[in-house]
Structure 1
Amino acid sequence: MVVQQYRRILVPVDGSEEAELAFKKSVAVAKRNGDETELHLLHVIDTRAFQNISSFDSSMVEQVTKTAKKTLDEYVDYAKKQGVAKVSYTIEYGAPKTIIARDVPQKLNADLIMIGATGLNAVERILIGSVTEFVTRTAVCDVMVIRTNLDNKPVAVPKK
């Protein structure tokens, strides 16, 4: 029997609890798959969120970027302390859905995306769409949606 060995794992992180669980589980997968496994973290700053602000200035984007870098540096440090040798990150700007599902996985030649389950309820998904749902439908590689904690217990009761 052949066991799938993922070598280039992409983990989108956005500061949510779901994304942090996906990150922590990705660290465990990377460790199990060996020293050749590359773990790549991705944070996408949705620049469309700034387009509606009339007093937009670049300092807002700079502050969001600074906060993201701090969090990503902490994640890299955690992964390395857990024994993952190859861990890196990028910060991208634009529409998260296509960047996560297509652009970055193609650029990195990723073979797995580990993404947190959405925290949106059904009405919110209809109105604004779920990044996770889009990624699972359109990604250029395998996608694992993380719905449980490190003990494989549900994080919360699903919203109705």
Structure 2
Amino acid sequence: MTFQSILLAYDGSDTSRKAAVAASELADRFHSKVEAIHVMQPPAPTAMLELTIPTTLDVQEQWKDQARRLLDEAQHLLGKSNDPLTTLLEGSPGPSIVEYAARINSEMIIVGHRGLNRLEEILIGSVSLYVIRHAHCPVMTIKD
């Protein structure tokens, strides 16, 4: 089995850095195209009592700048020989990764897994678990 297109979900964590290395190695082995994506989930407006404080444009730009830096880091980790693409998405990470992978017809998704316990998965969710359950293609998870 070969993979012509690999999608790397990158969030800057240690496991996503390891996932970038794995994606680079697979891309070298299979001469695959690699695309790194980062899903930015902008801060929602904050509600305090009866007052809603919207996020400012400055805060939103800071989040976008940080997301772009993460994608630059991913591109560096993937290496120039793979000529990786990078894409910034906005939304909920799990569904955004799955939807984008289907849209570009990715043949594999590589994502880091933080190793949450069952209660943490229930309370805060697991992006990697969502991707595994909903992706149209094979998913490789990289653990701590």
Q: Which TM-score bucket, shorter chain as reference?
A: 0.7 to 0.9
How many matched pairs? Answer: 139
**TM-score, reference length from structure 1:** 0.79
Name the % identity: 29
- Looking at secondary structure, tell me which structure has more strand per residue: 2
SS, match of residue 46 in structure 2: coil
CA RMSD, aligned part only?
1.6
For 1:52 and 1:140, the matched residues in 2 are separated by 35
Q: In the alignment, what sits opposite 2:132?
A: 136
Deviations 1:59-107 (A, max 9, x none): 21211111221231233234234x21x3111101111111112x21122
Matched-pair contact (CA < 8 Å) for 1:10–1:41: yes
Which residue pairs with 2:35 in the alignment? 40
Name the CA shift for 1:16/1:78 in 2 (closer, same or farther; >3 Å).
closer
Letter in 2 for 1:43: H
Give the drift of 1:119.
4.1
Gaps of 5+ in 2: 48-52
**Secondary structure of 2:101 counterpart:** helix
Tell me the TM-score normalised to structure 2 length. 0.87
Q: 2:107 aligns with which of 105, 108, 111?
A: 111
Given candidates 31, 38, 49, the residue that maps to 2:28 is 31
**Runs (4+) of structure 1 moved beyond 4 Å?**
none
Q: CA deviation at 1:142?
A: 0.8
Q: Out of 67, 85, 89, which is 2:86 matched to? A: 89
Query: Cα offset for 1:8?
Result: 0.7
> Is 1:14–2:15 an aligned residue pair?
no
User: In the alignment, is residue 121 of structure 1 matched against residue 117 of structure 2?
Assistant: yes
Kept in 2, the 8 Å contact 1:97–1:131? The answer is yes
